[in-house]
Structures are given as C-alpha cells and as structure tokens.
DNA sequence: ACCTGAACACCGTTCAAGT
DNA sequence: ACCTGAACACCGTTCAAGT
C-alpha cells in the first residue's frame, strides 16, 4: 500500500457529513416525507443499515441537517439575524418543522445565542435577557415556519402561488364573522400583506416591548 | 320495531365525537405515539377501517382532538387567555405538538380570536392588530409547547422531575461559554425560573410592545 | 471496523366481504 | 349505510453474514 493509502481510501466512504449532505439534498428537493433510510441509502449507493454506523437514528439525522442550515446565521443586528433565519427556514421548510417539533434541541441554542447575543449591547438589563430572548426565538421560529408552510402548501397545489394560498386562508378567516369577529377583521390584512415585511414588523414590536420593559 | 327504535340503536354506535373522545383518552394516558388506528379500534371494539367512515385520516383526527382541548379557552384578559392556553397545552402536550406542526389549522383560528379579540378594547389601533396577534399567538403556542415538552421529557425519564430536566438543559447551556456566551449567561435564570411565571412575563413584554407601537 | 440487505415489528390506509 | 378485518404498501431499525 502506498504511503498515501490511508488518505485516499474509497473516495465514497460514508461519513456523518456525507450522510447529512445527502439528506439535505433529498429534503430540499422532495420534502420531508421523501427522506427515508431506503432513499438515502440508494442515493449513497449503500445499504440502509450502514447509515446507523454514523448517525444514531432518523431524529438525530434531522437535527444535524437542521443545525447545518440554520446554524450560524450572520447579521449585525437582531433584525438582520431574524431575517436571516426567516430566509433560511423559507429555503428549508423541513428545518422549521423540526425546530418546532423539538424545542430544546441544540440548533435552538445557536438561535438563542445569535438573537440574544445583541441584547447586552442594546442596553437591555440582565434581568430581562431570558424573557426577551424567549419571546424573540419563539416568534422568529414560529412565524418563519408558518410562512414556509404556506410555501409548501402552494407548491403542493401546483396550480396556485403563495398569494392564492394566503387568499384561501383569508377566505376561511372571513367565513364566520359572528364566531370570529376579530379574525374576520384582520383577514384583509392577511390578504394584502407581504410576508417578510410583516415578519419584520413583528420583530420590531417585540424589540419595542424589550426596550419598554428595560426602562422600568 | 318500537317507535323509539331509531333513538336507541346500538348504544355503542360509532361517531366522530366518540372517536375523538377515545383518541383524547389514549393521547392523554400514553402519549402521541400510542395513538394508532389499531389501538383506537380496539378501545372502541371495532375494526380499524370503521374509523374512516367518520374521520378522513389521522391528521384530521388529531386536529379535531386539538380543537377539543384548546378551543374556547375562557378569560377576561389577554393574559388570562394566554395562561389558560398554557395550562391546556401543559395538560395535553400532544395538542401543542400538533398546533406547531400545522400552523394554519382551524384550532389556530380560535386562538387568534381569543387572544386578539381583546386588542380593540385595549385601544390598540386597527393597523397594529395583525402584527400584535401574530406575535402573541406564536409566543403563546411556542412557549407553552416548549414547557409541555419539558414535562413529557421528565415523565419519560422516570427518575427525574421537571426541575431536574431544566437543570440538565441549563448544564448543556453552560457547557460552552466561548461559543455561547449569552446562553451561558442566562442558564442560571433557566435553572431558577418558574415556568408559568416566566411565561406570563413574556406575555407582558409583548403587551408592552403592542402598547408602545400603538402610541406612535 | 464497516458494510450489506434481508428480516422484524410495526404503521396508515384500502377494500372485498359481510350485516 | 356501516362495519369487519385481512391485505397492501410502506416505514425505522436490527442483525447475521460478509469484506
């Protein structure tokens, strides 16, 4: 064996990294239900059982894939980070689904850090940090996933775009003004709204609350 | 046949209502993964296929069960409604999981209505209603589900209580102060905190933001 | 040590056959 | 019309057997 024998190996040898990369390709191309160990093994030209030598189970695989696409979103401000997460979840809806399915996972840690890390510099007192970042993170992930789910729904119904999906939701919201007067009142705003802009307005509302609490 | 023949029938005849009630019993007793059509059919002394005459599929069944336990939470104020939802999701964690899995579902409509319906009386201008209720609903459902998931985790590890679970999370948050300085800084607050009280503080923060935006 | 792929123990859903 | 329960078309995961 040559002296670089160890370095070359089989060039297609399995690894966590290659498995997660292949999983992300499947998830992005065909959605969450397309990710099965059989499909993943086929794409990696191996057996389904081989994957278990590198990832413990499907949940860990999804967590690793989620960390890959939402970890370390850059941004100079809380709003910039929030919009970065919004875009990442819009591009990878399955990551939004996984983040909400497992609230305590490691990927959430990175989100807490990148959103909350800017609070001290804003002059927010330490006693408010925990509440502030909890509200921010829950809103950012929840609203981004809600938006991404609308995109998935629009893709599922091949004949409609995202505006049509929102219109359909607005119709449903308007359907029962007696039981749901408030929802009926905001249905128009839903129909007219721009997802990303509205998302940013929500972040601003929370920031206003944080600063208002801080002054007390 | 007697003249009350129609009214009596088989007393155990299937119906949406009975199926949903049985599903909730299974979900509350043994958790989400225990709800299978076979287990449900066994509890109802029928065949699995019979259920499909009354509910379209498992997703619809979960949606109906979720509406049952989080629909129409009473409360005089936004905080009271929010705490009612917190308690409902704490008592039925699977409902929290389902609400976050399907953001656009009907049960969410009721939540928007009960949380947002109090905004007009607070003097919040109509242009702020949509943002305000979106932030509120995402925080309430997200944070309540996060809390409930901690309870599920505590139950799963039979030897620990909820405080121990939070302590373990806090340990994880403290583990890497270089990469996660902010998370490290708030780990202490997590360990010490009271879930329900902290949840209420988050609602207050959002309400402060709503009122601050309203004054502009 | 890593890989293979058949086998196991399940699922949700369908559907011919019954009442 | 409603119910029955076997059958279908899958899953994630395990594990004996290979290299």
Would you tell me how many other CB atoms lie within 10 Å of the CB of residue B105? 18
Q: Which nucleotides of C are covered by protein (CB under 7 A)?
A: 2-7, 10-16
**Which among A103, A173, A209 has the least Cβ separation from residue B149?**
A103
> A49-53, A189-193, B154-158: which has the highest mean pLDDT?
A49-53
Distance (Å, whole) CA B61 – CA B105: 12
Burial B108-136 (b: 16+ CB within 10 A, else e): bbbbbbbbbbbbeeeebeeebbbbbbbbb
Assigned token pair, B42: 């066994």
Can you tell me whether residue A71 is helix, strand or coil?
A: coil
The predicted structure's pLDDT at residue A2: 33
- State yes or no: pLDDT of A111 exceeds 80: yes
Q: Which nucleotides of D are covered by protein (CB under 7 A)?
A: 2-7, 10-16
A211 or B10, greater pLDDT: A211
* A186, A191, A193, A211: best to mutate for the B interface, most B CBs within 10 A: A186
Q: Please give the nucleotide, over all strands, whose C1' is closest to the CA of residue B35.
A: C11
The predicted structure's pLDDT at residue B88: 98
Overall size of chain B counted in residues? 216
Chain B residues lying within 8 Å of A157, measured CB to CB:
none
Spatial distance from the CA of B18 to the C1' of D10 (Å): 29
Spatial distance from the CA of A47 to the C1' of C7 (Å): 14
**B34: CB partners within 8 A, 6+ apart:** B26, B27
* B85, B101, B142, B201: best to mutate for the A interface, most A CBs within 10 A: B142
- What is the SS3 string spanning A95-147? HHHHHHHCCCCHHHHHHHHHHHCCCHHHCCCHHHHHHHHHHHHHHHHHHHHHH
CB A210 within 8 A of CB A124: yes
- State yes or no: pLDDT of A193 exceeds 90: no
Interval A149-169 mean pLDDT:
88
**Mean pLDDT lowest for which of A10-14, A38-42, A134-138, B108-112?**
A10-14
A vs B: CB pairs below 8 A: 172
Q: Please give the nucleotide, over all strands, whose C1' is closest to the CA of residue A50.
A: C3
Distance (Å, whole) CA A165 – CA A155: 10
- State yes or no: pLDDT of A10 exceeds 60: no
Q: Which of B99, B93, B49, B79 is nearest to B197 (CA)?
A: B79
The predicted structure's pLDDT at residue A120: 97
A42, A43, A46, A51 alpha-carbon torsion, rounded to 10°: -100
Interval A9-26 mean pLDDT:
86
What is the DSSP secondary structure assignment for residue B48, as one 8-state letter?
Answer: G
Q: Which of B121, B126, B88, B131 is nearest to B107 (CA)?
A: B88
Q: Please give the nucleotide, over all strands, whose C1' is closest to the CA of residue B47.
A: D4
- State yes or no: pLDDT of A157 exceeds 60: yes
Chain A residues lying within 8 Å of B134, measured CB to CB:
143, 198, 202
The predicted structure's pLDDT at residue B211: 97
Q: Which of B176, B108, B187 is nearest to B145 (CA)?
A: B108
**A3: CB partners within 8 A, 6+ apart:** none
Spatial distance from the CA of A98 to the C1' of D19 (Å): 37
Is B174's CB less than 7 Å from nucleic acid strand D?
no
DSSP per residue over B70-124, as a string? HTT---SSHHHHHHHHHHHHHH-HHHHHHHHHSTTSHHHHHHHHHHHTTTGGGT-
Residue ranges, chain B, pLDDT below 50: 1-10
pLDDT band at A4 (very low <50, low <70, confident <90, very high): very low
* Cβ–Cβ below 8 Å for B186 and A129: yes
Question: Model's pTM, two decimal places?
Answer: 0.93
Cα angle A141, B33, B138 (rounded to 5 degrees) comes to 20
List of B residues 32-61 with CB within 7 A of strand D: 45-50, 53-54
Interval A18-44 mean pLDDT:
98
CA distance A135 to chain B (A): 6
Distance (Å, whole) CA B108 – CA B141: 9
Spatial distance from the CA of A80 to the C1' of C13 (Å): 45
Question: With left for phi above 0 and alpha for psi between -120 and 50, is residue A35 left, alpha or beta?
Answer: beta
**Which among A102, A130, A180 has the least Cβ separation from residue B189?**
A130
The predicted structure's pLDDT at residue B34: 98
Spatial distance from the CA of B82 to the C1' of D1 (Å): 44
CB B115 within 8 A of CB B107: no
* Cβ–Cβ below 8 Å for B169 and A104: yes
Is A37's CB less than 7 Å from nucleic acid strand D?
yes
The predicted structure's pLDDT at residue B212: 95
């Amino acid at each position: 064996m040559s002296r670089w024998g160890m370095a070359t190996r089989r060039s297609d040898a399995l690894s966590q990294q290659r498995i997660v990369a292949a999983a992300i390709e499947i998830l992005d191309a065909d959605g969450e239900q397309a990710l099965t160990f059989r499909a993943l093994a086929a794409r990696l030209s191996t057996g389904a059982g081989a994957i278990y030598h590198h990832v413990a189970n499907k949940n860990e695989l999804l967590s690793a894939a989620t960390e890959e696409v939402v970890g370390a979103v850059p941004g100079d401000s809380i709003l910039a980070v929030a919009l970065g997460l919004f875009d990442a979840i819009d591009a990878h809806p399955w990551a939004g689904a996984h983040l909400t399915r497992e609230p305590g996972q490691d990927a959430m840690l990175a989100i807490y850090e990148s959103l909350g890390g800017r609070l001290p510099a804003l002059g927010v007192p330490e006693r408010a940090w925990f509440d502030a970042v909890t509200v921010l993170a829950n809103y950012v992930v929840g609203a981004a996933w809600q938006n991404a789910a609308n995109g998935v729904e629009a893709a599922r119904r091949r004949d409609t775009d995202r505006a049509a999906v929102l219109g359909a939701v607005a119709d449903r919201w308007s359907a029962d003004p007696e039981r749901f007067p408030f929802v009926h009142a905001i249905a128009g705003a839903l129909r007219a709204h721009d997802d990303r802009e509205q998302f940013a307005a929500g972040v601003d509302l929370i920031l206003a609350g944080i600063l208002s609490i801080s002054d007390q």
